[in-house]
Copies of this chain bind each other. A is one copy, B any other.
Amino acid sequence: MKRLVLKFGGTSVGSIEKIKNVANIIKEEFSKGREIIVIVSAMSGVTNDLKKKSNLISENFDDKELDVLLSSGEQVSCSLLAGALIDLGLKARSWLGWQIPIVTNINYNSSQILKIKTEEVSKFISNQGVAVIAGFQGISFENRITTLGRGGSDLSAVALAKFFKADSCEIFTDVDGVLTTDPSINNKAKKIDKISYEEMLEMASLGAKVMQPSAVQASMIDDILIHVRSTFSKKPGTKIISENDIDYKKTVTGIAYSKNNAKISLVGVVDKPGVAADVFEPIGSNNINIDMVIQNTSLDGKTANITFTIKQEELKKTLNIIEKNKKKINYQKITHDGRLAKVSIIGAGMITSPGVTHMMFRSLANEKINILAISTSEIKISVLIEENLTQRAVKVLHEAFGLN
């Protein structure tokens, strides 16, 4: 018998009517003769509201108490959903993290799942029961409630699929699946039928809307088949599967982008071992996330130029840190640019298609879009451009790589 993990996000259970709709979806899947484990997020808006309450109590609200507070959101949605299933005549019950238990480490607010006990739930579902499990939460060895961090219900779903050896993990959400690009800036965006874990991770800027990147990573490690699909339509969604199982007809799978990037260039840095560390150590220790890094040797071979990108809102702080460490870093000149976007083409088929890089740069050049920096990985090419050219760049690349 097929065993499915069905995960419903906050928008899917955002109202009583929507919870009833989800109950009907589950009943339909159950009637196909499947063993079903349901994971549910808090009703949309609830977690934010609870978080806001905690902030009003204290800006440094205790992390353990925060997990007690936030986990109540999933407690509400999973009991309501279990009640709705029982009302439809199914055998159903809810389990909270501590009841199963879903054992995590003690990193309160962003815990990792260590182990899930399966006996009780397995017995229940093999006896025609539908198990409804609260997502996002677990219990530590200190016997206290933990949570997995934002979007943690995706992680719960993947972990349950692993420990219960499910055949598939279905992520129900409010869109039809993973799209080739953001439909709000390109109405030619199309649903992707199959995508590899690696591509999905690189698509984070698009994919994060449908599934938490860390959950994609977890499913990749354990080779769990993910199916991202809509709660509000019956259309098949996007399957996230192993690269080996995809027959690549297209070189490029999707076009991702992120706005609000800033670039800093240090010119004439003395080129010696450890110089990159001298630059990035003080920035990283201030919790500033560095994205792209490009280092070129200068013509004279004695100095280097280092360019890197950060989020726009951290530009000022970063410039201050560099200024403070000027002596140590020892550069001749610093330049910066604050309104940039990163546009990426992503596709596992790129490795075997040597013309891709050329085609990308040519397509952008034809549109007179200047490339300020380039960074590549095996399945991705990213370019940095002026932010106001983002939409044009996405559109031209979407067409050039046959995604329209």
Nearest B residue to A55, CB-CB: B16
Q: Is A80 part of the contact surface with B, judged by Cβ < 8 Å? A: yes
Q: Is A264 part of the contact surface with B, judged by Cβ < 8 Å? A: no
Task: Contacts A66-B83, A83-B69 given; indicate if A20 touches B78 (C-beta within 8 A).
Answer: no
In the complex, what residues of B have CB within 8 A of residue A62's CB? Answer: 82-83, 86-87
B80–A57 CB distance below 8 A: yes
Nearest B residue to A145, CB-CB: B96
In the complex, what residues of B have CB within 8 A of residue A79's CB? Answer: 65-66, 68-69, 72
In the complex, what residues of B have CB within 8 A of residue A61's CB? Answer: 83, 87
Q: What's the Cα separation between A133 and B146 when bound, in Å? A: 18
Count of A interface residues, CB-CB < 8 Å: 37
Q: What's the Cα separation between A93 and B57 when bound, in Å? A: 15
Q: What's the Cα separation between A69 and B57 when bound, in Å? A: 24
B72–A86 CB distance below 8 A: no
Q: Is A374 part of the contact surface with B, judged by Cβ < 8 Å? A: no
Q: Is A299 part of the contact surface with B, judged by Cβ < 8 Å? A: no
Q: What's the Cα separation between A50 and B82 when bound, in Å? A: 15
* Distance to closest chain B CB from A80 (angstroms): 6
Q: Is A118 part of the contact surface with B, judged by Cβ < 8 Å? A: no
In the complex, what residues of B have CB within 8 A of residue A57's CB? Answer: 16, 19-20, 80, 83-84, 87
Nearest B residue to A83, CB-CB: B65
B65–A82 CB distance below 8 A: yes
A54–B72 CB distance below 8 A: no
B78–A75 CB distance below 8 A: no
Q: Is A238 part of the contact surface with B, judged by Cβ < 8 Å? A: no
Extra A-B contacts (13), CB below 8 Å, given A68-B75, A69-B79: A50-B76, A53-B76, A57-B87, A58-B86, A65-B79, A65-B80, A66-B79, A66-B83, A68-B78, A68-B96, A72-B75, A72-B76, A99-B143
